[in-house]
Chains A and B, each alone.
Chain A
């Protein structure tokens, strides 16, 4: 028989040894790994006093400065790059796979791997100060076409967003059938900046897409959704040039936001909006666009179908969006281009625009990844 005392002694001994080692770790954590308070300076003029010893990404998040990251700080996405001017030290082997030679010279670091151990000076894009994490509720889900849904989110905490028309947010997909960890996907907001308490996203179903499947199959009105943003530099530049917008599918979203913003702000530039689709069932928000044509002083909406069905009874433009665009372009001298859609469509349309004399640097686009 196994005596009770032996049983107790073994439990006691293992507990004592583990307890002693745990105590040792706690002491080490408080002494060896204690880097005290350090000063974090961002873009020369923002100063934070933070506790040292933790990775930069998390430290910044505690100060409510959000750096875009898709993997949540495990060093597997390589997105959370920042320029560290002072106080970084050597590159770690876990950073190197993500850092190019050029970025090394500029001292770009992966903020989830780099720990804050001393006073640090870093540089991040100014607009990231405006990025926050939002708790939202799904207010409405509406079918725009057979495969595009418009999702309206009410912002709860914080309850307003300060964005520029054309920017995007990251949508957090919780764990479900297709993913065993939360993932983030970027979607442009189709609502204008004047709608501060509510945002709209247009989400097209991609077969087996992690986020799109979640939104199309699982998301219901009333559900809670976490987003962060706004991000992006796809917005209307402040010039007098004529605006040519080109979009396909859910590329409608940022363009719609820009158009509504122009209406809000009374911007009277000439705007032409080319929208490419295959058949009539891929077209959406036509009435809204026709309404805008009446409200904006010089706006023309030009939808084009590449393969109209006989039953569509389509009397508008027919052909690939590039051909339609080419037909309508006179001189590109006074034109600025804003494009949103698939990479193939954008590349083809950029070629048409430059061929017609639109300078390369005045063509702005938002490519779907």
Chain B
């Protein structure tokens, strides 16, 4: 029971108090470039959530059953990236084969995810913080949903922003970064409610 309670705390903590994008500023590149429209943000956000949850599980197994026993924990950077890349490639193939609408909606975002540092970040945080298997999975899922939440919120704001007069020098990435900063400040209000470190 303890374990489930901990896992839930981590799950909600990863979404709100320790949002990977807004507190760690990870996964910024795709966040900045794809958050222009709600529809594409939804696609990318969903794909990120799925891959984060699945790779946190996979990397947990690889880390504790292969790297740790062999004393190779320092190789985790390379190994995690390889596992993530292979997994994403595999998922892309399967989606392409199985569901065409899903491929049209998510397919092109998947290769983009391989290089999303938030995904690697999740795998690294979970071994640094020594989470259990259950906690790691919920940490991955929660971080994914947190990232989803952040990009959807940003897409909503940017769609409104399209009609606003932005000073010329701040158009595009400039104003987006400022807004991200404000969102991060807002999310900081949650900090301390749950401690997941």
Contacts and interface: CB of A to CB of B under 8 A. Distances in A.
A6 B71 contact: yes
B72 interface: yes
A92 B109 CA distance: 12
Contacts of A89: 100, 104
A4 interface: no
Nearest to A10: B72
A21 B40 CA distance: 30
B29 interface: no
Contact of A28 (B66, B71, B93): B93
Contact of B90 (A9, A24, A92, A115): A24
A157 to B, nearest CB: 37
B86 A33 contact: no
Given A6-B71, A25-B89, A93-B40, A17 B62 contact: yes
B189 to A, nearest CB: 36
B70 interface: yes
A29 B70 CA distance: 31
Q: Which of B78, B93, B101, B107 has the most CB of A within 10 A?
A: B93
Contacts of B108: 92-94
A14 interface: yes
A90 B101 contact: yes
A94 B112 CA distance: 13
Contacts of B94: 32
B107 A21 contact: no
A18 interface: yes
A90 B104 contact: yes
Contacts of B100: 89-90
A25 B96 CA distance: 15
Contacts of B67: 13
Interface in B138-168: none
B186 interface: no
Interface in B44-76: 62, 66-67, 70-72, 75
Nearest to B105: A93
B97 interface: yes
Given A28-B90, A93-B40, A13 B75 contact: yes
Contact of B72 (A9, A28, A29): A9
B86 A24 contact: yes
A18 B82 CA distance: 7
A14 B77 CA distance: 11
Nearest to A12: B70
Given A90-B104, A93-B108, A17 B66 contact: yes
Given A9-B72, A13-B72, A25 B104 contact: no
B75 A14 contact: yes
B86 A25 contact: yes
Interface in B4-49: 40
Most buried by B among A21, A25, A90: A21
Contacts of A14: 75, 78-79
Contact of B86 (A21, A29, A90): A21
B188 interface: no
B44 to A, nearest CB: 11
Nearest to A94: B108
Nearest to B109: A93
Contacts of A28: 90, 93
Contacts of B72: 9-10, 13
A301 interface: no
Contacts of A18: 82
Contacts of B104: 89-93
A122 B52 CA distance: 40
Contacts of A91: 104
Nearest to A27: B90
B136 to A, nearest CB: 19
B183 interface: no
A13 B66 contact: yes
A14 B101 CA distance: 36
Nearest to A95: B104
Interface of B: 40, 62, 66-67, 70-72, 75, 78-79, 82-83, 86, 89-90, 93-94, 96-97, 100-101, 103-104, 107-108
6 contacts: A24-B86, A32-B94, A33-B97, A89-B104, A92-B104, A93-B40
Interface of A: 6, 9-10, 13-14, 17-18, 21, 24-25, 28-29, 32-33, 89-94, 115
> When A and B form their complex, which 7 residue pairs have the shortest distance between CB atoms, in order from nearest?
A21-B86, A90-B104, A32-B93, A89-B100, A33-B93, A32-B97, A10-B72
Given A32-B93, A90-B101, 8 more contacts: A6-B71, A9-B72, A10-B70, A10-B72, A13-B70, A21-B83, A90-B104, A93-B40
